[in-house]
């Protein structure tokens, strides 16, 4: 009942529409511009960035942020970080199988009704860091680390915003803003205070391809990976778009010629 | 249909059929030989475009419904599954979500066409009213559909809109709870919304049938607004307008495809990718762009019930429009004052859309220095919206002196150089 009451109050509040947005500190920054490999009508995800971005996710973010909607096999599907043309079925992809095997997942019940543990398979979902939301909150001082399945689409100017957020911890908080323990000042975050500590430092991880693991590089890579996770079919979408556009433009040209022809004998 | 049928069944089977169910005759008379004014411009292609839009929504929607799960715990995940794992699911969903926007884009241009060329006036009042019914049903379908992915905007949009009914005196609370199927927006609400979302497009298809029937009795209006007088004023629908409509439909599909393939989330809202949460109110609840003008009108009134009445009144007034406009002249082409008021009406509608997207307390850019905030801008534009229908159109017809009109559609076409004035007869004999 309490919830209902709160809902109604909230809804009426919305209707009264005096709701000026409650950015406590008033000031927060617009995300910084950035150039991505996948921009534009022909842009594709850079495989190197995707693979490094996956590493950043796996070694850093996945401790707190899950990706509920993704399966490990997605990594090896067309357009994914570890897609190999020889393995059109991602479940056979050796890189993905190796990645999956590193995880221990719970399965079952077996014929005795018991749950058991086994190494992961590509068909498993990404392991989730928490059993439920409450656990996630409890582990993070009351703030739930949002799921990453569609995080890039779920924020305005998603890619720029997340990159700016990850690199945006170096500012002095304004004097009137009290930063309590467990909170961090980040002017890109609405309200300026978030419960996520700075995550990226130079050389936090080692890239197998030898790319320098600077903060900027890691932020760039992980956002590319998250963009792919949010929209794994982007490359297919653009590819089909090109064919559709060519087809429609040709059809429009033909129809226009037909139109001129049909109407050439009448005044209108 | 206007005029005697010219259909002649040619084969044994069509003769047999024609005596029993003259459906081929109906098709022939409606879409092949149908006499259509020869001077229709591209604003007349939106009817055909709208038919295509409806078919796209129904076809993509039926397939989406095969994969969608109407349950508050699974809906979000099922929509994600459509995007990720269903073959070409991303294409279906992009097409359906953007298709709704494209549908509204087309219907707004279609309606403005009718307003400018006076297509709502006798003998087309019922045709116009059926159009307004379709528009209402479209808004209902779009609102219900937007709730289905069960994101933050879905949930809070449903909350705001269903709560409007709570403003009704006495019956407010029971009606709202009846709509919800409970004491709040919840699983029962989502289920019934899905059921209705599936139903309404077929109701629309039915009303579209009536709409076309009501079109084919008086025939098309045209840019001059003149009534068709002789056969020389018209051309058979096929091939003249099939090819012209066909071209326009493909151009429209290019714009459609641009959004679907290159900018699929531009018209949506990022918050709707966040799963619904009854405890977290989004900072800024806004409807989809096509409903923004009504949202602005709703908020223009300090009183909730007043706002609701005004919002429904904004559509209600369209129903009586045929009897509000007192001018004898249909087309704004020949209404030197009317066309200015019309232009401002279009600007007011766009302005209301802008107001609907902003927070009422924010200052309007540039005009803000004068102290104008979006609340007052919304009020001024709302006043003009209603003023246009309730004051301008009734009075203007009595005082405005129409410009001289051509004698007929045929002359308006042939005497293009002497546009407006009646062309001398000699000039016509070419
Ligand atoms: C008048 C035509 C229609 C309009 C204007 C319309 C509009 C919409 C809108 C705005 C959405 C939300 C899309 C999103 O944000 O993802 C939606 C979703 C949906 N619609 Fe429709 N729709 C129409 C016809 C239909 C039909 C005929 C069906 C099924 C027979 C259908 C089935 C669905 C389903 C299953 C969803 C949820 C999946 C999703 O969110 O993509 N729709 N519709």
Instruction: Indicate whether A267 belongs to any domain.
Output: yes
d(CA B259, CA B278): 31
Residue A69 to residue B251, Cβ atoms within 8 A = no
In contact, B67 and B79? CB cutoff 8 Å: no
Q: Which two tokens stand for residue B382?
A: 């709302």
Please check whether residue A139 lies inside any domain of the structure: yes
pLDDT value, residue A27:
60
- Return the percentage of chain A with pLDDT > 70, whole number: 90
Of residues A21 and B101, the one with the higher pLDDT is B101
Q: Which of A141-145, B265-269, B333-337, B415-419 has the lowest mean pLDDT?
A: B415-419
Q: Are residues A37 and A161 in the same domain?
A: yes
| Whether residue A20 has pLDDT greater than 60 | no
Quick: pLDDT tens for A68-118.
Answer: 999 999 999 999 999 999 999 999 999 999 999 999 999 989 999 999 999
Q: Quick check: B91 and B238 in contact, CB under 8 A?
A: no
CATH of the domain at A166: 1.10.760.10
Task: Output phi, psi for A116, to 5 deg.
Answer: -145, 165
In a domain, A223, yes or no: yes
pLDDT of residue A181: 87
On whether the CB atoms of residues A222 and A56 are closer than 8 A, the answer is: yes
Q: Is the pLDDT of residue A36 over 70?
A: yes
B66–A contact, CB cutoff 8 A: no
Q: What is the pLDDT of residue B362?
A: 87
* Partner-chain contact A14 B156, CB within 8 Å: yes
d(CA B275, CA B184): 17
pLDDT at A3: 57
Question: Do residues B208 and B191 make contact, with C-beta atoms less than 8 angstroms apart?
Answer: no
Which residue in the block uniquely carries the two structure tokens 């990720």?
B84
Distances B132 to B128, B257, B295, B316, B319 between C-alpha atoms, Å? 6, 28, 18, 9, 7
Taking the Cβ of residue B159 and every Cβ of chain A, the question of whether any pair is shorter than 8 Å is answered with yes
| Mean pLDDT on B391-419 | 85
Q: What pLDDT does B57 receive?
A: 98
Per-residue pLDDT of B31-90, as tens digits, reads 999 999 999 999 999 999 999 999 999 999 999 999 999 999 999 999 999 999 999 999
With a 6 A CB cut-off, is B148 part of the ligand 1 pocket? yes
* Mean pLDDT to the nearest integer, A197-216: 92
Judged by a CB distance cut-off of 8 A, whether residue A236 touches chain B is yes
Does residue A18 fall inside a structural domain? no
Residue B194, CB-side half-sphere exposure with 13 Å CA sphere = 19
Asked whether residue A146 falls in the same domain as residue A266, the answer is: no
- Global confidence as pTM: 0.90
Q: Look at residue A222 in the predicted model and tell me its pLDDT.
A: 97
B68 lines ligand 1 (CB under 6 A): yes
Size of interface A-B (CB pairs under 8 A): 129
Handedness of CA B164, B167, B173, B175 (dihedral sign): negative
Give the pLDDT confidence score for residue A260 in this predicted structure: 96
CB atoms B254 and A249 under 8 Å: yes
Cβ B146 under 6 angstroms from ligand 1: yes
- Are A129 and A219 members of one domain? yes
Cis before A63 (ω within 30): no
In this structure, how many other beta carbons lie within 10 angstroms of the beta carbon of residue B242? 17
The string of pLDDT tens digits covering residues A153-196 is: 999 999 999 999 999 999 888 888 888 888 999 999 988 899 99
pLDDT > 70? residue A19: no
User: In 3D, which of B108, B39, B93, B29 has the Cα closest to residue B61?
Assistant: B93
B57 C-beta neighbours (distance < 10 Å), count: 23
- Taking the C-alpha atoms of residue A224 and residue A219, their distance in angstroms, rounded to an integer, is 9
At A4, the pLDDT band (50, 70, 90 cuts) reads low
Angle at A253 between CA B30 and CA B416, to 5 degrees: 65
Residue B422 has pLDDT above 50, yes or no: no
Q: Is A190 on the interface with B (CB under 8 A)?
A: yes
Give yes or no: residues A134 and A205 share one domain: yes
Check residues A124 and A2 and name the one with the higher pLDDT.
Answer: A124
Q: Measured between alpha carbons, how far is A73 from A236 in angstroms, rounded to an integer?
A: 17
- Same domain? For A53 and A140 the reply is yes
Task: Scan residues 178-237 of B and list those with Cβ closer than 8 Å to A.
Answer: 183-185, 235
Are A37 and A149 members of one domain?
Answer: yes
Count: domains in chain A: 2
pLDDT, averaged across chain A: 89
Say if residue A139 is in the same domain as residue A263: no
Alpha helices by DSSP H, listed for B4-151, are: 12-20, 23-31, 46-67, 75-84, 89-117, 125-147
Other C-beta atoms lying within 10 Å of the C-beta of residue A56: 27
Tell me what pLDDT residue B3 has.
65
| End-to-end CA separation in angstroms for chain B | 33
Q: Which of A68, A138, A64 is nearest to B274 (CA)?
A: A68
A130 and A146 both lie in a single domain: yes
CA of B64 from ligand 1 middle (Å) equals: 8
Give backbone dihedrals phi and psi of B359, rounded to 5 degrees, phi first. Answer: -80, 135
B239 touches chain A (CB under 8 A): yes
Q: Using a 6 Å cutoff on CB, does residue B157 contact ligand 1?
A: no
> Which pLDDT score is estimated for B424?
42
From CA B314, how far away is CA B298, in angstroms rounded? 10
List beta partners, residue B151: B275
Strand-strand pairing, A116-119 and A104-107: antiparallel
Residue B426 has pLDDT above 70, yes or no: no
Percent of chain B clearing pLDDT 90 (strictly above): 86
Asked if A266 contacts B38 with a C-beta cutoff of 8 angstroms, the reply is yes
Q: Class assignment of domain B35-287+320-335+402-419? A: mainly alpha
* Cross-strand pairs, A71: A125
Q: Are residues A171 and A194 in the same domain?
A: yes
In three-state form (DSSP H/G/I as H, E/B as E, the rest C), the secondary structure along A36-99 is CCCCCCCCCCCHHHHHHHHHHHHHCHHHCCCCCCCEHHHHHCCCCCCCCCCCCCHHHCHHHHHH
Mean pLDDT of B8-18: 95
Residues A166 and A194 placed together within one structural domain of the fold: yes
For A186, the domain range is 25-70+125-232
Report the residue of chain B nearest A2, measured CA to CA: B279
Q: Is B143 a pocket residue for ligand 1 (Cβ < 6 Å)?
A: no
Question: In this predicted structure, what is the pLDDT of residue A268?
Answer: 75
Closest CA to B138 of B82, B212, B66, B58: B58
- Residues 154-183 in A contacting B (C-alpha not used; CB under 8 Å): 154-156, 158
Looking at the predicted structure, is the pLDDT value of residue A38 above 50?
yes
Asked whether B52 and B426 are in contact (CB, 8 A), the reply is no
| φ, ψ for residue B382, nearest 5 deg | -60, -40
For residue A61, tell me if it sits in a domain: yes
Report how far residue B257's alpha carbon sits from residue B250's, in angstroms, rounded to the nearest whole number.
10
Quick check: B421 pLDDT over 60? no
My answer on whether A33 and A150 are in the same domain is yes
B164, B324, B109, B260: which is closest to A16 by C-alpha? B164
B209: tokens are 């049938």
Instruction: Inform me whether the pLDDT recorded for A54 exceeds 50.
Output: yes
Phi, psi of A7 (to 5 degrees): -60, -45
Looking at the fold, whether A247 and A154 belong to one and the same domain comes out as no
Low-confidence winner among A8-12, A58-62, B279-283 (lowest mean pLDDT) = A8-12
pLDDT digits (tens, 9 = 90+) for B207-263: 999 999 999 999 999 999 999 999 899 999 999 999 999 999 999 999 999 999 999
Q: What DSSP string runs through B198-229?
A: HHHHHHHHHHHHHHHHHHHTT----TT-PPP-
By CB neighbour count within 10 A (0-12 exposed, 13-18 middle, 19+ buried), where does B315 fall?
middle
pLDDT recorded at residue A129? 92
pLDDT tens, residue by residue, B140-164:
999 999 999 999 999 999 999 999 9
pLDDT, tens only, B353-378: 999 999 888 888 888 778 889 999 99
pLDDT, one tens digit per residue, over A240-251 is: 999 999 999 999
- CB-ligand 1 contact for B64 (6 Å cutoff): yes
**Mutation for testing the A interface, residue in B77, B84, B284, B414 having most A CBs under 10 Å:** B84
- At B207 the pLDDT is 98
Show me where the domains of chain B are located.
35-287+320-335+402-419
């Amino acid at each position: 009942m309490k919830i209902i009451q709160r809902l109604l109050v909230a809804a009426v509040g919305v209707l009264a529409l005096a709701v000026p947005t409650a950015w406590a500190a008033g000031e927060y920054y617009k995300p910084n511009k950035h150039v991505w490999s996948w921009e534009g009508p022909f842009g594709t995800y850079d495989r190197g960035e995707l693979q490094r971005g996956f590493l950043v996710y796996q070694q850093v973010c996945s401790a707190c942020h899950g990706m509920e909607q993704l399966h490990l096999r997605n990594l090896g599907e067309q357009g994914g970080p570890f897609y190999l043309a020889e393995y059109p079925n991602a479940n056979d992809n050796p890189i993905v199988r190796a990645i999956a095997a590193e995880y221990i997942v719970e399965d079952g019940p077996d014929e005795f009704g018991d749950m058991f543990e086994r190494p992961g398979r590509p068909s498993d979902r990404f392991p989730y860091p928490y059993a439920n939301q409450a656990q996630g909150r409890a582990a993070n001082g009351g703030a739930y680390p949002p799921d990453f399945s569609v995080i890039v689409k779920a924020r305005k100017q998603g890619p720029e915003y997340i990159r700016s957020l990850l690199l945006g911890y170096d500012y002095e908080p304004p004097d009137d803003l009290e930063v309590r323990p467990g909170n961090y000042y980040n002017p890109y975050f609405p309200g300026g205070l978030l419960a996520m500590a700075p995550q990226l430092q130079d050389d936090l991880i080692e890239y197998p391809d030898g790319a320098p693991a600077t903060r900027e590089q890691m932020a760039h890579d992980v956002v590319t990976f998250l963009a792919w996770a949010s929209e794994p079919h982007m490359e297919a979408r653009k590819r089909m778009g090109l064919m559709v556009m060519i087809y429609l433009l040709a059809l429009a040209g033909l129809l226009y010629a037909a139109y001129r022809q049909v109407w050439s004998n009448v005044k209108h | 249909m206007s005029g005697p049928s010219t259909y002649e069944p040619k084969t044994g089977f069509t003769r047999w059929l024609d005596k029993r169910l003259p459906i081929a005759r109906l098709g022939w008379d409606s879409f092949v030989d149908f006499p259509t004014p020869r001077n229709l411009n591209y604003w007349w292609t939106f009817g055909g475009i709208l038919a295509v839009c409806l078919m796209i929504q129904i076809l993509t929607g039926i397939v989406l419904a095969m994969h969608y799960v109407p349950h508050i715990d699974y809906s979000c995940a099922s929509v994600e599954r459509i995007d990720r794992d269903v073959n070409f699911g991303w294409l279906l969903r992009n097409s359906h979500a953007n298709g709704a926007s494209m549908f509204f884009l087309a219907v707004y241009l279609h309606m403005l066409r009718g307003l400018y060329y006076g297509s709502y006036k006798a003998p087309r009042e019922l045709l116009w009213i059926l159009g307004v019914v379709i528009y209402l049903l479209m808004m209902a379908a779009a609102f219900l559909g937007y709730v289905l992915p069960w994101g933050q905007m879905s949930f809070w949009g449903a909350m705001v809109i269903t709560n409007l009914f709570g403003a009704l005196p006495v019956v407010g609370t029971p009606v709202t709870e009846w709509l919800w199927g409970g004491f709040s927006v919840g699983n029962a609400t989502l289920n019934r919304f899905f059921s209705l979302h599936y139903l309404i497009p077929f109701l629309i298809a039915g009303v579209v049938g009536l709409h076309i029937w009501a079109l084919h009795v008086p025939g098309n209006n045209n840019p001059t607004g003149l009534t068709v007088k002789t056969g020389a004023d018209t051309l058979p629908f096929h091939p003249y307008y099939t090819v012209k409509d066909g071209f326009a439909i493909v151009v429209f599909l290019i714009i459609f495809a641009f959004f679907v393939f290159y900018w699929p989330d531009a018209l949506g809202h990022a918050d709707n990718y966040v799963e619904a949460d009854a405890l977290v109110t989004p900072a800024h609840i806004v409807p989809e762009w096509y409903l923004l003008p009504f949202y602005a009108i709703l908020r223009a009134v300090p009183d909730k019930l007043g706002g609701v009445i005004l919002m429904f009144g904004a559509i209600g007034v369209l129903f009586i429009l045929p009897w509000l406009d007192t001018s004898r002249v249909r087309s704004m082409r020949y209404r030197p004052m009317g066309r200015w008021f019309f232009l401002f009406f279009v600007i007011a509608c766009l302005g209301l859309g802008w107001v609907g997207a902003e927070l009422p307390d924010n200052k309007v850019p540039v005009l803000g220095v004068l102290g104008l905030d979006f609340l007052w801008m919304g009020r001024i534009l709302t006043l003009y919206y209603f003023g246009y229908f309730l004051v301008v159109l009734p009075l203007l017809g009595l005082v405005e002196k129409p410009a001289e009109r051509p004698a007929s559609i045929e002359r308006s076409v042939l005497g293009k150089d002497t546009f407006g004035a009646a062309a001398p007869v000699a000039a016509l004999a070419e």
